[in-house]
Amino acid sequence: MSRIEKEKQTVEQMIRLYCRKKEGNGTLCPQCRELLEYAQTRLSRCPFGDGKSTCRICTVHCYKPEMRERMRVVMRWAGPRMLFYHPVAAIRHLWQEYIRKK
């Protein structure tokens, strides 16, 4: 699985966790679905490809300001909880961020 595909999977897990646990929805609400589709589109078009860092430390911010803020809210809430619900994805994401900062 490519780096971009793993990142897409992690983003989807975070958005689904946020929508299910924070908003109390059984399935993705329209706003979360829109954010997921937007994020996956942006990841597919990432100019760095498989050499990309995590979006938070990226030098090119390709999200529109509104969507970037929405994603920040989701990630801020879901990030710490990922260790309990999706520990492998959370550790992989943190590791990628750590090695890209070096």
Q: What string of pLDDT tens digits covers the 102 residues of the chain? A: 788 888 899 999 999 999 999 999 999 999 999 999 999 999 998 887 777 767 666 777 788 999 999 999 999 999 899 999 989 888 887 777 776 665
Total number of domains in the chain: 1
Q: What is the pTM of this model?
A: 0.85
Q: Tell me the residue range of the domain where 58 lies.
A: 3-101
> Phi, psi (5° rounding) for residue 61?
-95, 105
